[in-house]
Amino acid sequence: MRVTFERRLKQPRWLSLAVPVVSVVFALVVAALVLVVTGHNPFTTYRELVDAAFLQTGSLGQTLISATPLAFTGLAAAAAFRMKLFNIGAEGQMYMGAIFGAAAGLYLGGRGGPSAFVIASMVVAGCVGGMVWALIPGILRAFFKTNEILTSLLLNYVAGYVLTYLIFESESYWRQTKGFNATTFPTGKPLPHNAIWPGWSVHVQGGLVVPLGAGFAVLAAVILWLLYSRTRFGFEARVLGDSDRAARYAGVRVRRKILAVMALSGAIAGLGGASQVGDFAHSLDGDPNGLQKQGFGYSGIVVAALGRYNPFAVVLVAFLIGGLQNAGNTLQGATFPAGLVGVIQGIILFSALGGELLIRHRVRIGRRVRKDASTAPEPAA
Amino acid sequence: MKSRKLALAVLVTAVVALVGATVGSASRTHSSSAYKVAFIYVGPHNDGGWSQAHEDGRLYVQKMLGSKVQTTYKENIAVGAQFSQTVASLVAQGYKLIFATSYGYVNKAFAAKYPQVLFEQATGTDVSKNLAEYFGAAEDTVFLSGMAAGAASKTGNIGYVVAYPIPEVIRHANAFALGAQLTHPGATVHLVWTHSWFDPSAEKKAAQSLHAAGADVLGQNVDSPAAGQFAESVGVPWVGYDSNAAKFAPKSWLTASVYNWGPYYLKRVKAAMAGTWKSGFYYGSINDGFTKLAPYGPGVSAAAKANIATYEKKIEAGTFNEFTGPLYDQSGKLRVAKGVKMQVLKGGTNSLYGMNWLVKGVVGSPKG
C-alpha cells in the first residue's frame, strides 16, 4: 500500500473548520487511550478539564491570566511568520517590554500623574522595549542575512538574564530595596496604584474581571488584520513572504519591510510584557521561577500556527490554549502526574497542528497513484 | 471509499460517546469529609532536593492522619500567574490549607483574597491573619556538614555550588565555610553561582570548574544531585543539601543538611483541623528535629563524626552558635563583635535573614 500527500488545488471552506474539530476529537480519543492505560477515567478527566478551564466559578478569570499573554505572543509570532520572518524571540521581547513598561510605570506613576497617562506611557514603553529587542535580529537579518531564527532565539536567554539581573543580582531601579522583606528575598518594586491597569468587571461566573491587556490584545488583532488585509504595507509583506524575488521585482524595499515587520512583531510581544506588569504582577517579575518559567513566548508560536496567522483566530486559539494551560494546573496532583497532563496537552496540540497538513494536502491511499484531473502536480518549491 | 466511510463512522461514534459521557458524568463524586490540604512545589516532586523534601513531609502527614485528611501536591508551579491559577482551582475543590513551599508565591494581598483559606509559606517573612511563614535553621546543620567537608579535604580547597546571591544562600555558604574552617584551619571555600535553583547541567558544570580549579571536596546549596554525580565520577567527596541524596553518589557522599518538614506539617494540619491554627513565623532547628544531618557516607572518619557530634550537642544546648562573633568578612573587617550572636530577623545585614556579605575565607562575590 502506498500513502501519498498531494497538495490541494482548492481548499474547500468547510475543511478549514472541519479539520481542526476532527483533529481535536482524534486527539481526545488518542489521549483517552493513554488515560485508560494509566488508570484514569477519560470522561471524568475531560469533564474536569473543561470545568476547570471554562465552566466552574472563577475559571474564566484564571484562564484569561494565561490567555492574555498568549494572545500577545501569538499575534507577535503571526505578524512575523506571515512574512516568513521566523521571529522566535517573542519570549525575550516580552521580557524587554515588561522591563520598559515597569520603568515607565514606576517612574511616571511615582510622580503622581493621571492614571490614563501613566498606563498609556507603559503601553508605549512596552512596545518600544519589545521593538528594540526585535530590531536586533531584524537588522542582522536585513543587512547581514543572519538567520533570524537563531539570533532571536538566543536573545531570549540574554533578555532572561537581564530580567533576573535587575531583580536578583543588582539593586536596580526596578528592585524593591526598602523594608525588611526586601533584605530577605529579592522582589520587584511595587507599582504605584495609578500605574496598575484596571479590569472590566463582567457579571459572569459571579464576577469576572477582564484584564485591560486582554482588550489591548483584541485591539492589536484588529489593527493587525487591517494592516495585513487592507493596506499596501500588508500586501507587500505578504508578497515578500510568498516570493522574495517577485517582491523585489515589484519594487518592494525588502530591508525596510523586514525591519518594519520585526519591529511590529516585537512591539506586540513587548505590549504583552507591559501587560504582565500592569495587569498581573504589579511589579517587574524577575523571579526565575516566575514569568520566565511560563514560556508564553514559545507557546505563542503554537498559538499562531494553530490560528493560521489569522489575528482573530489567534486570539480565539489563545483563549482555548489558555484554558488548557489553566486546566492543567487543576488536573495535576498526587494521583495525576504533571507529566501526564503534559502528554495530553501535547497530543491535543500535535493533532491540531498535524491536522493543518490535511487542509492543504490530500492523502491518497492506494496501490497506484491515479492520475486524474483533480490532482495538481506538486509545484516546484 | 469504504474505509473512509468506516473511519468517519468510528469518529462520529466516538464524538457522540465522548460528549454524552462527559455531559452525563456531570454529577461528580465529591469525596467525603476528609480535610483537604495542598502542597505547591516550585520543582518536580521527585527532584532529589528541595521539593522532594516537602513531598516527604506531605506523605508523612498523609500516613499519620490517614483518611482524616486528603492531601495533594502541585509541582513545577511558576510564581505569579500559574500559582494564582493553581490556588483558585484548589480553593474551588475545597482545599482549606495550602503550603506554598517557595518564596514569592504568597503575599499578604494575595492571602487576603481567600480569607477562608489558610496559607503557609516556606522561607518567607510576610505574615498576616491567614498567612504563616516557616523555615528551619539549616545554617546550624550546614555548618556541621561543612565540618565534614573540612575534615575530608586534604588541600583545604573546597568548592561550593550556589544558586542566587540572596541572604538565604549567603547564610548557608558562610555557615559551610565556618564549619570547614573549624576542622581544616585556613580552608577556603570557592563559590560558583549557577543562577538557578534547579539546573542539573549548570550545577554539573559548576562542579567541574571547581574541581578543575583544585577543589578536593564539593558542597552545594542548589537542588539537584548533579554536582554529586560529577563528584562520584571523579572520586571527590561531596556534601549535598535539602535531601538525602546518597544514592546518587554512594562513594562520594559525606552528608548533607536536610530538612524534616513532616512533623511541622503534621502539627499545623492538626491545628487547622481543630480550629486552633494561628498565623506566625516559625523557625525550626536541630532541637525540634526540623533540620538535621543526613546519614554519613563512607568518607567521614570516626574522628570527624565524634567532632561533629560534640558540636551538634553544643548547638542543641545553646552553648555554641556558628554565627556568634567574632566574625570577619572577606576583606578581614570585623563584622560581628566577640560574643554577639546574630538574630534571625533583627539586625539588618547582620541578621540571618539579611546577610549580604561573605565570611573570611570564602572566595567569590556576594553579588553573584
Q: Where are the domains of chain A?
A: 71-305
Share above pLDDT 70 across residues of chain B, in percent, rounded to a whole number: 91
Q: Which residue has the higher pLDDT, B152 or A186?
A: B152
The answer to whether B347 contacts chain A (CB < 8 Å) is: no
Q: Do A169 and B14 touch (CB under 8 A)?
A: no
Pick the residue of B46, B72, B82 with the most A CBs within 10 A to test the interface with A by mutation.
B82
Q: How far is B127 from chain A (nearest CA, A)?
A: 11
Residues of A in contact with B22 (CB under 8 A): 43, 46-47, 50
Q: How far is A217 from chain B (nearest CA, A)?
A: 18
Q: How far is B319 from chain A (nearest CA, A)?
A: 27
Residues of B in contact with A22 (CB under 8 A): 11
Domain ranges of chain B: 35-137+261-284, 138-258+292-363
State the Cα torsion A185-A187-A192-A198 to the nearest 10°: -120
Q: Give the whole-angstrom CA distance, residue B164 versus residue B246.
A: 24
Q: What are phi and psi of B116, to 5 degrees?
A: -85, -5
What residue type is A98 in one-letter code?
A
Above 50 in pLDDT, residue B25? no
B213-240 per-position pLDDT tens digit: 999 999 999 988 999 999 999 999 999 9
Q: Determine which helix (DSSP H) or strand (DSSP E) holds B191, and give its type and residue range.
A: strand B188-193
**C-alpha distances in Å from residue A327, one per residue of B20, B47, B75, B122:** 21, 23, 14, 26
Answer positive or negative: Cα dihedral of A181, A182, A187, A193: positive
**C-alpha distances in Å from residue B242, one per residue of B145, B224, B232, B256:** 12, 9, 18, 7
Q: Helix or strand or coil: residue B32?
A: coil
Q: How far is A379 from chain B (nearest CA, A)?
A: 27
Question: What pLDDT is attached to residue A364?
Answer: 80
The answer to whether B196 contacts chain A (CB < 8 Å) is: yes
The answer to whether B321 contacts chain A (CB < 8 Å) is: no
Q: Do B195 and A288 touch (CB under 8 A)?
A: yes
Question: What pLDDT is attached to residue A17?
Answer: 81
Question: Is residue B347 classed exposed, middle or buried when 0-12, 13-18 and 19+ CB atoms within 10 A define those classes?
Answer: middle
- pTM for the structure as a whole: 0.88
- Tell me which residue in A62, A161, A290 faces B85 most closely, judged by beta carbons: A62
Q: How far is B309 from chain A (nearest CA, A)?
A: 31
Residues of B in contact with A184 (CB under 8 A): 124-125, 166-168, 353-354
The answer to whether B115 contacts chain A (CB < 8 Å) is: no
Q: Do A164 and B195 touch (CB under 8 A)?
A: yes
A307-343 per-position pLDDT tens digit: 989 999 999 999 999 999 999 999 999 989 999 999 9
User: Hey, which CATH number is domain B138-258+292-363, 3.40.50.2300, 3.90.1010.10, 3.40.50.10140, 3.40.50.150?
Assistant: 3.40.50.2300
Q: Give the whole-angstrom CA distance, residue A343 versus residue A42.
A: 13
Cβ atoms B148, B239 nearer than 8 A: yes
In order along chain A (381 residues), what is the average pLDDT of each group of 10 residues?
79 81 91 94 93 91 96 98 94 98 96 94 98 98 95 97 91 89 86 95 85 97 95 91 88 93 98 97 92 95 93 96 94 91 92 84 70 52 45
Question: What pLDDT is attached to residue A184?
Answer: 80
Q: Determine which helix (DSSP H) or strand (DSSP E) holds B97, and give its type and residue range.
A: strand B97-100
Pick the residue of B62, B79, B102, B357 with the most A CBs within 10 A to test the interface with A by mutation.
B79
Q: Give the whole-angstrom CA distance, residue A351 versus residue A142.
A: 35
The answer to whether B310 contacts chain A (CB < 8 Å) is: no
Q: Give the whole-angstrom CA distance, residue A137 versus residue A119.
A: 28
Whether the bond into B185 is cis, omega within 30 of 0: no
Q: How far is B300 from chain A (nearest CA, A)?
A: 34
Question: What pLDDT is attached to residue A18?
Answer: 85
Please list, in sequence order, all residues whose beta carbon lies within 8 angstroms of the beta carbon of residue A326, skipping any fewer than 6 positions away.
A52, A53, A59, A62, A63, A65, A66, B85, B89
- Which set of grid coordinates corresponds to residue A25? 476529537
A345-359 per-position pLDDT tens digit: 999 999 988 888 777
Q: Do A47 and B26 touch (CB under 8 A)?
A: yes
Q: Give the whole-angstrom CA distance, residue A129 versus residue A116.
A: 20
Q: Which of A149, A147, A141 is nearest to A90 (CA)?
A: A149
Task: Decide whether B35-137+261-284 matches B138-258+292-363 in CATH topology.
Answer: yes
The answer to whether B99 contacts chain A (CB < 8 Å) is: no
- Tell me which residue in B92, B164, B367 faces A58 most closely, judged by beta carbons: B92
Cβ atoms A278, A119 nearer than 8 A: yes
* Rounded (5°) CA angle B261-B266-B272: 125
Q: How far is B181 from chain A (nearest CA, A)?
A: 26
The chain B residue lying nearest A187, using CA atoms, is B104
Cα A178 off chain centre by: 35
- Tell me which residue in B74, B79, B348 faces A332 most closely, judged by beta carbons: B74
Any bridge partners for residue B74, and if so which? B40
Q: Do B18 and A58 touch (CB under 8 A)?
A: no
Q: Do A185 and B21 touch (CB under 8 A)?
A: no
Q: Which residue has the higher pLDDT, A267 or B165?
A: A267
The answer to whether B55 contacts chain A (CB < 8 Å) is: no
The CATH number that domain B35-137+261-284 falls under is: 3.40.50.2300
- Tell me which residue in A168, A293, A333 faces B164 most closely, judged by beta carbons: A168
Q: Which of B359, B365, B363 is nearest to B175 (CA)?
A: B359
Q: Do B80 and A290 touch (CB under 8 A)?
A: yes
Above 70 in pLDDT, residue B29? no
- Tell me which residue in A169, A184, A335 faces B368 most closely, judged by beta carbons: A169
- Which set of grid coordinates corresponds to residue A7? 497538495
Residues of B in contact with A3 (CB under 8 A): none
Q: What are phi and psi of A203, to 5 degrees?
A: -85, 70
- Which set of grid coordinates corresponds to residue B255? 552528608
Q: Do A52 and B78 touch (CB under 8 A)?
A: no
The chain A residue lying nearest B89, using CA atoms, is A330
Instruction: Give the number of A-B residue pairs with CB atoms closer than 8 Å.
Output: 151
Q: Give the whole-angstrom CA distance, residue A311 versus residue B207.
A: 48
Question: What pLDDT is attached to residue B358?
Answer: 97
